[in-house]
A and B are shown apart, each in its own frame.
Chain A
Amino acid sequence: MIYKIHSTNLDGKTIYARIDDDGLCRLTCTEDYPELKSWLEEGNTPEPADQ
């Protein structure tokens, strides 16, 4: 499971996509989402957005 940058919302806030091991995105979130915070605290870095 990884997170990657998904988009910017209408208020300019970054939205992240969680990509599960099967390659599907089942969750999108802001940087305030607790599980993303924990993942970042473990030293992980979100992948850049698709071009």
Chain B
Amino acid sequence: MTMTLDGTSGVTFNDTSLQGAAASPYVLKNRIINGDMRINQRGWTGTVVTDGTYTLDRFIAFTSVASKYSVSQNAGSVTPPTGFSNYLGVTSLAATTLAAGDYYMITQYIEGYNIADLAWGTANAKTVTLSFQVYSSLTGTFGGVVGGNSNPAYPFTYTISTANTWTTISITVAGPTTGTFNSTTGRGMNIHFGLGVGSTYSGTAGAWSSNTYYSATGATSVVGTNGATLYITGVQLEIGSTATPFERRLYNQELANCQRYYYRTTPAFVGGRFGMGQAYSTTASIILTQFPVPMRIAPTALEQNGTANNYSTLSNTGSGVTCSAVPSFNQCTNVLSETVFTVASGLTAGNATVGLVLNANAYLGWSAEL
């Protein structure tokens, strides 16, 4: 193996790769969760109708006007970049003219605990580098923002020179010495990838601002072209001024990372159980479901698939009683949920029971997203 040490350029390996600076610590190098777009607990695919829609795990789609673009895992079925199997794919559904206050973007909020060591907002603020792989039907200058919750914001630009080709992007950001950044369970940092942002929320690239920005002035609008695509994967945010190889995490580790913010359980076969519980009347039972990892905070809502007769609970004879209403939220801690299963009749108060599904696609889901 040939390795060249150079006091100016760094270390060059025999495959010509260059390490120009000390590597970031391996553990928790990448502050982005699901940066390789593997995890999609919600099974999300489709048009973004609601502003702030969670798509692939940890990635939120913002849309100031409904139904201007869609998001799907591996949209368009192009070959992902080497070493990746998945990407987040955006497809524009119209030629949208941006008003000043419009915003279309993909965002990840990073929890304060995961960026506290960056010391942002102090004299010791650390430099970070954001890197990712991007593929678009468009060429030009695109934009985004690294910033705190609302502000301060650091707009950045990146260039795609060749359409429909994966391009590696690296953006280095000097840590801000002013501003307030959450360092516990709140939003510590926001990463926005602009898909089209009006002038109100676009700022000068390459400088920190106390304004709320979501992209850089002059950036290409993906939603401005009907059918335009923007695909992204390998998103990494690390300490230092050099992008290093994407941090690979075991699937179960990354799934657990995602489940701190959202957990969906799908028993996957008819009769599969959500958990055990107790009937507290002839028509209702409480079913307990343990979360696989402690969630960021105690969830305050329960999701299910909207059809009561997809759910059931057992009577004291052990036979299933089909629900007469969809399962509903009772209460949660950050490790355990209580769900109400309601039936027309047939339960015995005080008896043990279980909650189960009568449709293999039925699920229960809890969010503790930032």
Contacts and interface: CB of A to CB of B under 8 A. Distances in A.
A30 B306 contact: no
Contact of A33 (B280, B301, B330, B331): B301
Interface in B30-58: 50, 52
A1 B328 CA distance: 18
A9 B303 contact: no
Contact of B331 (A7, A13, A17): A13
Interface residues of B, number: 18
B286 interface: yes
Interface string A9-51: 1110101010010001111111011111000000000000000
Nearest to A50: B325
10 contacts: A9-B340, A10-B286, A15-B328, A26-B326, A28-B326, A28-B329, A29-B300, A30-B331, A35-B301, A36-B301
A25 B303 CA distance: 9
B304 interface: yes
A6 interface: yes
B32 to A, nearest CB: 22
Given A20-B306, A24-B307, A30 B301 contact: yes
Contact of A10 (B52, B301, B330): B330
Interface of B: 50, 52, 280, 286, 300-307, 326, 328-331, 340
A15 B302 CA distance: 11
B302 A27 contact: yes
A24 to B, nearest CB: 4
B328 A28 contact: yes
Nearest to B51: A38
Contacts of B301: 27-30, 33, 35-36
A13 to B, nearest CB: 7
Contacts, number: 52
B329 A30 contact: yes
A42 to B, nearest CB: 12
A26 B331 contact: no
B329 A26 contact: no
Top 8 A-B residue pairs of the complex, sorted by shortest distance between their CB atoms: A29-B301, A24-B306, A28-B328, A26-B306, A33-B300, A32-B300, A28-B329, A33-B301
A34 B301 CA distance: 9
Contact of B280 (A10, A20, A29): A10
A26 B305 contact: yes
Contacts of B286: 10
B329 A15 contact: yes
Contacts of B330: 9-10, 15
B53 to A, nearest CB: 11
A32 B331 CA distance: 11
Contacts of B305: 26
B91 to A, nearest CB: 22
A10 B284 CA distance: 11
Contacts of A9: 329-331, 340
Contacts of A34: 300
A49 B239 CA distance: 52
Given A9-B331, A25-B306, A30 B300 contact: yes
A11 B303 CA distance: 20
Given A10-B280, A10-B286, A27 B331 contact: no
A28 B300 CA distance: 9
Contacts of B304: 26-27
Nearest to B301: A29
B306 A29 contact: no
A30 B340 CA distance: 14
